[in-house]
Structure 1
Amino acid sequence: MRYTILLHYPEATPESLGEEAWAEGERAFSAYAATLHAAGVLVGAEVLQPSTSTTTLRTVDGALQVQDGPFADTKEQLGGTFVVDVPDLDAALEHARQAPNIGWGAVEVRPGALYTVDGVWTPNA
């Protein structure tokens, strides 16, 4: 079953965090990805650009609205995702608890409902 591990944490830059701390974070996330890959569960992963590069779309009264920036006004932002294919929620939670940002942000685990391969939707089971 596929689960998405969503990583939420306060946004930082190399300047605000410090070059050494930034480099350590990059090493930690690379090691986490390598661990998931070695376990044979990693489907894909993405580190997202800062929320300032976000564009949010919604329809209000039938009209499309385009907003620069994220919809949510919060100190923590979605910083990246890992998609894993594991037998059950317990296995997903075990992998999620190893996410480097667990000490400074939230780690959300959400099961997928459907996924697509080559344009064909498949139930996540």
Structure 2
Amino acid sequence: MKYILLMYHTEGVFSQDEMPEQMEISLDICRQLHAKGQFLGASPLLPIDTATSVRSSSGRLEVHDGPFAETKEQLGGYVLIDVPNLDDAIEVAQTFPAAKRGTVEIRPLFELAGIPQV
């Protein structure tokens, strides 16, 4: 089953001094998943001040700076995995630094036929 792990945390939760170590921990987890054939992709996101939201209001498209919702925790990145079940996805999710200082949301992917593959 394919899952996306969405990494949420408050911006700045990891200090500049901590970031290299926390990124290396995440990269190591991704390498371990890759070695087991369970890694599909991942990427950290740039800071929230680089976000742009497009939405429809009264039939008109609007473009706004920033995220769609105002929240304390912001989406900081994602990891795509392919594991047998939700229990395995939970086991993977809890190893990421975001799980220790934020939230890792686990969502199964809806597999839609016809989507181009990379």
Deviation digits for residues 20-47 of structure 1 (CA, Å, limit 9, x no counterpart): 2122112111112112212220000011
* Aligned 8 A contact 1:2 1:111 in 2: yes
Moved more, 36-45 or 107-116: 107-116
3-state SS of the aligned residue for 2:106? strand
Distance 1:115 1:95, change over 3 A: farther
Structure 2 residue ranges without an equivalent (≥5): none
Looking at structure 1, the residues matched to 95 and 112 of structure 2 have their Cα atoms a distance apart, in angstroms, of 24
Q: 2:60 aligns with which of 43, 58, 63?
A: 63
The offset of 1:116, in angstroms, is 6.4
The offset of 1:12, in angstroms, is 2.2
Structure 1 residue ranges without an equivalent (≥5): 121-125
**1:8 matched residue in structure 2:** 8
Report the aligned-residue RMSD.
2.0
Looking at structure 2, the residues matched to 62 and 117 of structure 1 have their Cα atoms a distance apart, in angstroms, of 29
Letter of the aligned partner of 1:32 in structure 2?
I
Moved more, 40-49 or 20-29: 20-29
- With structure 2 as the length reference, what TM-score do the two structures score? 0.89
Looking at structure 2, the residues matched to 93 and 109 of structure 1 have their Cα atoms a distance apart, in angstroms, of 7
Distance 1:116 1:99, change over 3 A: farther
Deviation digits for residues 48-104 of structure 1 (CA, Å, limit 9, x no counterpart): 111111110111000001000111111210001101111111111111111122110
Structure 1 segments of 4+ aligned residues over 6 angstroms from their partners: none
* Aligned 8 A contact 1:32 1:100 in 2: no
Q: Which has the higher strand share?
A: 1
* Alignment pair present for 1:30 and 2:27: yes
* Alignment pair present for 1:74 and 2:71: yes
Q: Where in structure 2 are the equivalents of 1:1-125 lying within 5 Å?
A: 1-12=1-12, 17-18=15-16, 20-115=17-112, 119=116
